[in-house]
Amino acid sequence: MSLTVEQAGAAAQPLVGVVEDDPNVAALAADLCRGMGANAVLFASPTPFLRAFSDGAPRAVVLDWRLEREVSAAAFMAIRHRYPLLPVVCWTASPRESLPVMIHHDPMTRIVDKASGMAAFEHALSWALGAGGHTHGPA
């Protein structure tokens, strides 16, 4: 079950935006977020995500690096421009070395290989939720 921003924001749990175009993988991410005590709002593409959080930001974002039409780099740059301190979990099936330098060197980003399993995702999400106590409003 996915939540709207309003439904998820009404709960006391931290809010995580999940930008993932595969509905099965998005549902898995939402389940893992719930297991970590966070509410997930699912987005199949970056534009609705950016529009949904125009007045603030979630505690963290899970960004699929291999979105359709290869818009992940633009999505990452837009997220980073709007929310410079927002923790980003870059969840990818791409080889780590194929990711741009901006991802590797961003201190507020963690890269998780989708094949690494749930423990790696949970570790990165735990980091993101712990790092997310800062302000992430529009710059």
> What CATH architecture does domain 13-131 belong to?
3-Layer(aba) Sandwich (3.40)
Distance CA 9, CA 17 (A): 11
pTM score over 0.75: yes
* Cα distances (Å, whole numbers) of residue 99 to 22, 32, 93, 117: 20, 24, 11, 19
The mean pLDDT of the chain is: 85
More confident residue, 66 or 20: 20
* Cα distances (Å, whole numbers) of residue 15 to 73, 87, 117, 122: 23, 12, 22, 15
pLDDT attached to residue 137: 45
Count Cβ atoms below 10 Å from residue 33 Cβ, excluding itself. 27
Share of the chain above pLDDT 90, in %: 56
pLDDT tens by residue, 53-112: 877 789 999 999 888 766 888 899 999 999 999 999 999 988 888 899 999 999 999 999
